[in-house]
Structure 1
Amino acid sequence: MKLSTLFITLLLIGVSFSQPDVSNSYLGVGDTGVSYFPSYLNLQMHIRCYSNVTAANQNGPIALFDSGLPFFSTAWVPIIPSVLANMPSWNISKACFVDRYGYGWSNSSTYPITTQEYVVRLRGSLQVAGLTGKYILVGWSWGSIFIQTYSLTYPKEVVGILSIDGTDSKWGLIPSNQQNVITLSDAVKGYINMNNMGTLEPLARSGMVGSYFGWLPDDWSILDTLNVH
């Protein structure tokens, strides 16, 4: 197996975390988010959504956010308030934040899932959850690979894409990137091993691993001290 293939499959299997109930909120008191847990082809995906509370744009597109490596939906917590404030002017009906398989509150896959299969499963999960319509796809770093693939696979469903520090879909195949492939693969495997040994959660809760890895802090004031970006 090529290093790039190993890297990609590691990312799509992801890291399985033991999490508190996500309904406790991302934003603290007054959080209006709703978590969906659609099951599609024997895997459950977690999608956290916030609705436009104004009367306008109720039938507008859904903004769908996919995070960078190795983060998941909680990586977007610092920008969610701004997204909520701008939803009316952006003409969107919902803003939804996705946990890829093995990340956050989504199931882990027991076998490697390619990018192409992931977007098929993402689309199926959105349909099961009733989150259908047109999409504006937002991908940060590694997440941009998935929004590129989704837009190419289902172009009639996508009205816009936004890539933030985007990764090219062929990044892992470029020879000069192979050392980065090895380093990042080792980092992901290290987090998997730490989680299996039960040592990752205490580090996250102490602030040594950022809350965007998925553990929401017991004391919300810690978010002010963490390097969340």
Structure 2
Amino acid sequence: MSTNGIWSSDRRYSSEEDHHPTTTNEHTRLLPNRVDSTTYTPHNPSNGPYLSPDDPAVSPYNLFTVRLVRYATVALTILTFIWWVLMVVSVFVTPPGLHVRGSPFFSFSYATVALVTLTISLIFFAVPSKSQRVLSLVLAGLLLVDTIVIVAVTRTRHEEIWVGIGSVVWATLMVGWVVIAERTVQWGKAEEEERLTGRPEHRRTLLEWTEVLLSSVALSVITAVVVLMTCTLILRAVDSGLRPPGERYWVDEDKYQIHLYCYGNKTDASGAKSTTVLIEGGEDPVERGLWQLAENAVKNGSIERFCFADRPGMAWSDTAPSPLSASMASDVLGETLSRAGEEGPWVLVSAGIGSIYSRVFSSRHGEDVRGLLMIDPLHEDLLSRVGDPGRGFLLWLRGVISPCGIDRILGALLRGRRSVDRVWGRASYQSGTTIFAKLQESLVADSLTKRDVASSRAIQDKETPLVIISSGEQIRRDSEWEAKQRDLSHLTRKLEDWDIVDKAPHRVWDTLEGRDIIERRLKRLVKA
């Protein structure tokens, strides 16, 4: 009750001095008294002691706690943005210490989730809602599951190392912070409404409902993306149980591992050291076709032994730091063979773009190379097709969405795709590591790699026996391809054969005639 117009309650005014406090604290309204407000004054008690709910002075920002939380959110957003920029840069040029042995697109995705969630929180900071809080809690729970999977599974922990683990942990913490911030603003909003209007305000304006709708839709989209990422991560964990046929060896100062597989006898029937066929895959891993062809050749007695190493990012090999040119990949192959104790002599077999890598390797190990067999090889003058900017952008875009793994998830659920299909089989092209490897290839194809292969041509041993097997379909479809195949036939002075398999596609070994010719020519080179 009031006496002489003076209120005695703690939410009323006991004197004019109390109405105009001289000290500022958390419960002091920031905005000055408005002429049109309904603030009670002793000189005009009919206005009442409270403000209108629509008065701008009724704001959670009046509380120092809320303002502090907002400043902290801004600071965290800036830090997250810096990390996000580093993740973008690392795809193209890996900064020291930020190399990820798996797909760098996963750590980039987690950084993006954290950045977008914090940005949404800042945009709609003063309009908290239950839907935002629930979605943020679900999002935090999913990210926590991702953290556990990455840390608990040996292979994913090996691939993500501290960069990927740090990204998912940071994203989890940032979403948790958003929940705390939203709850703090909700508390501050109710506190100020009760203090300045007499009761908490439950109604919303049309603008506020629009903001709630937009924030809820945005958080729903992010949650759906993280659900897909969690499913893809689980598939990665399942695929890690597929053991490689060979061994992995640490290379490049133990930064990452390369998978090497060898099969057959190191000596022939006479006890002499046998020539080893060293296979370089093309656009696909060696395991897709060439592996089976080589094993059949050993069983048929055409060759004694073969080896192949998956290029960085392909099949069971880790990804390498960017950039990665043909000469760098060749050095990595040489180091892997050395660590495995494999010494040659070699007959090099390569397909498609793999011929670029084999030629560089041959020029650097000419004394150990006994022959070159190239299957529908790519000419260095056509590397511009691989390095086309449009192709590079599409590979980057595919990489960005690869953590969602929609095609891999649907393949596993609806098409019966297994780990073999995803690691090196027909679905391996969907893997984030494979996409990244092809992006690396594209980024330097028409610059560093082209320079490497041009140098290798100049120093190639001209007495090395050479066999070229070309795709008839590719030649008929592309006249320039035919001209470049002809040019490659002059790579050395000892062209043994140039076969054009009439009905064979680019993957010549997919046809019975192609496999037969490859094996016969290979036997001839090895036995020579």
**What is the TM-score of this pair, normalised by structure 1?**
0.67
- For the residues of structure 2 that align with 1:164 and 1:39, how far apart are their CA atoms? 29
Query: Using the alignment, how far apart are the partners of 1:22 and 1:49 within structure 2?
Result: 18
Q: CA deviation at 1:199?
A: 3.0
**Residues 153 and 200 (structure 1 numbering): CA distance in 2 closer, same or farther, change over 3 Å?**
farther
Q: 1:52-71 CA deviation, whole Å, 9 max, x = no partner?
A: 398626721221111111x1
Shift in alpha-carbon separation, 1:85–1:58, aligned structure 2, 3 A: farther
Within the candidate set 85, 94, 106, 2:299 is matched to 85
1:170 alignment partner in structure 2: 381
Alignment of 1:56-95 (within 5 A): 56=269, 59-69=273-283, 71-75=284-288, 76-86=290-300, 88-90=301-303, 92=304, 94-95=305-306
1:1-229 matches, cutoff 5 A? 16=103, 18=236, 19-23=239-243, 34-41=245-252, 42-52=255-265, 56=269, 59-69=273-283, 71-75=284-288, 76-86=290-300, 88-90=301-303, 92=304, 94-173=305-384, 177=385, 181-182=388-389, 184-186=391-393, 188-189=395-396, 191-202=398-409, 205=412, 206=415, 214-215=423-424, 229=510
Distance 1:39 1:118 in 2: 14
TM-score under structure 2 length normalisation: 0.32
What CA distance in whole angstroms lies between the structure 2 residues aligned with 1:158 and 1:106? 24
* Larger Rg computed on CA atoms: 2
Aligned residues: 193
SS at match of 1:144: helix
Amino acid at match of 2:399: I
Query: CA–CA distance in 1 between the matches of 2:409 and 2:326?
Result: 32
Q: Percent identity?
A: 21
Unaligned runs of 5+ residues in structure 2 are 1-91, 94-99, 104-158, 160-235, 427-506, 511-528
Q: Cα offset for 1:15?
A: 8.0
SS across alignment from 1:109: coil
Q: In the alignment, what sits opposite 1:5?
A: none
* Structure 1: stretches of 5+ with no match in the other structure: 1-8, 25-33, 218-226
Distance change (3 Å), C-alpha of 1:134 and 1:172: same
Give yes or no for contact 2:101–2:318 (8 Å, CA) kept in 1. Answer: no
Structure with more contact order per residue of length (Cα contacts < 8 Å, sep ≥ 6) = 1
Structure 2: distance between partners of 1:120 and 1:154: 11
Q: 1:188 deviation in Å? A: 3.9
Whole-Å separation in 2 of the counterparts to 1:155 and 1:53: 20
Q: After TM superposition, give the deviation of residue 14 of structure 1 in Å.
A: 11
CA contact (8 A) 1:134 1:159 kept: yes
Listed one character per residue, the Cα deviations across residues 45-94 of structure 1 (whole Å, up to 9, x for unaligned) are: 0112211398626721221111111x1132124424422323x333x3x2
- The aligned counterpart of 1:29 is none
Alpha-carbon offset, residue 168 of structure 1: 1.3
Give the deviation of 1:136 after TM superposition. 1.1
Take 1:166 and 1:14, find their aligned partners in 2: how far apart are those partners?
29
How big is the alpha-carbon RMSD for the aligned residues of Structure 1 and Structure 2? 3.7
Higher helix share: 2
